[in-house]
Amino acid sequence: MLDAYFLQQLINGLTIGSAYALIAIGYTMVYGIIGMINFAHGEIYMIGAYTALIAITGLAALGVAFLPIVLLVALICAVIVSSSAGWAVERIAYRPVRGRHRLIPLISAIGMSIFLQNYVHLAQGSRNMGFPLLIEGGFRFGAEGDFQTSISYIQITIFITTLICMAGLSWFIAKSRTGRACRAVSQDLGMSSLLGIDTNRIIAATFVIGAALAAVAGLLLGMYYGSIDPLFGFIAGLKAFTAAVLGGIGSIPGAMLGGLILGVSESMTSGYLSGEYKDVVSFGLLILILLFKPTGLLGKPEVEKI
């Protein structure tokens, strides 16, 4: 029988790991298509969280309190705004410099990240903003007087939402026409263009899909943590990028696996050592993986075309 405290840390780790996986999808899809890292992706996630909060606050001011409507409207607004921002990042920061030395798009993406961070800082202020926990309550397991394992409804919501998003994305990539085009472009961008695939549209679609999933994570983690700020996306984006590399950047199942491993390792470190060491353990794990398996856990070696 699993120890109750260990089980609690496992639940906490899987919760945050699921959210990391949703954000990591954006990194891994963009890299899989054009071989570059979208370092503005964490800020797209942060914008989704702010948009959801603004929508929730607006509905409260209008007297709308029916939970399904509030969540649905907040999610739709967050997805629309984040997807638009993701499209704008690709159109402004990536497309004009695509095909040049890889350092140029990298600098462009970092510049876009700083711009979005400071824009939100000026528009919304630098202070922490409280995020209402719309999904309250949960379950407790264990005898009275002993340590009880608890799982909240918001944690269950994060698990289920992540599974639905991953299943839907996997189906989309495998079965849809756009998904097949994404796979073709990821294998050979030039040949795909010669065969009539609109590569600009496909690349923009990957940014939009990744941004939409990041918006979902922004709403969920905003409720889970209870507060957001302009740096909310930087740390989570860095962790999600680590999860993508850990699982094998370019691999969607790898992003999921990397997110879960990273979340559980952070939770176990916080629970059994100290929260101050969780980043040390997480990034130390990344270093070990890259030393012994540079492509990540599920990544495949890149084949040089001659």
* Secondary structure letter of residue 92 according to DSSP: I
Can you give the pLDDT at residue 304? 52
pLDDT at 161 over 60: yes
Residue 266 lies in a domain: no
**Residue 259: how many other CB atoms lie within 10 Å:** 30
Note the pLDDT tens digit of each residue in 164-207. Answer: 988 888 888 888 888 888 888 888 888 888 888 888 898 889 99
Q: Please report, as a single letter, which amino acid is at residue 114.
A: I
* Separation in Å, CA 70 to CA 59, 133, 143, 209, 219: 7, 12, 36, 23, 12
Can you give the pLDDT at residue 134? 87
Note the pLDDT tens digit of each residue in 88-105. Answer: 999 988 888 877 777 888
Mean pLDDT of 19-46: 86
pLDDT at 1 over 50: no
Greater confidence (120 vs 285) lies with 120
Residue 267 lies in a domain: no
Residue 285 lies in a domain: no
Model confidence at 303, in pLDDT bands (50, 70, 90)? low
Can you give the pLDDT at residue 82? 94
Residue 142 lies in a domain: no
Asked if 21 and 166 count as a contact pair (C-beta separation under 8 A), the reply is yes
Residue 84 lies in a domain: yes
User: For residue 20, what are the domain limits?
Assistant: 15-131+151-234
Rounded to the nearest 5°, which phi and psi values hold at 219?
-65, -45
Residue with tokens 């095909």: 99
Residue 301 lies in a domain: no
Residue 65 lies in a domain: yes
**Degrees, nearest 5: CA angle 299-300-305:** 140
pLDDT at 2 over 80: no
Q: What is the CA radius of gyration of the chain?
A: 20
Residue 145 lies in a domain: no
Asked if 97 and 110 count as a contact pair (C-beta separation under 8 A), the reply is no
Asked if 174 and 5 count as a contact pair (C-beta separation under 8 A), the reply is no
Can you give the pLDDT at residue 73? 95
Can you give the pLDDT at residue 301? 62
pLDDT at 295 over 90: no
* Number of domains within the chain: 1
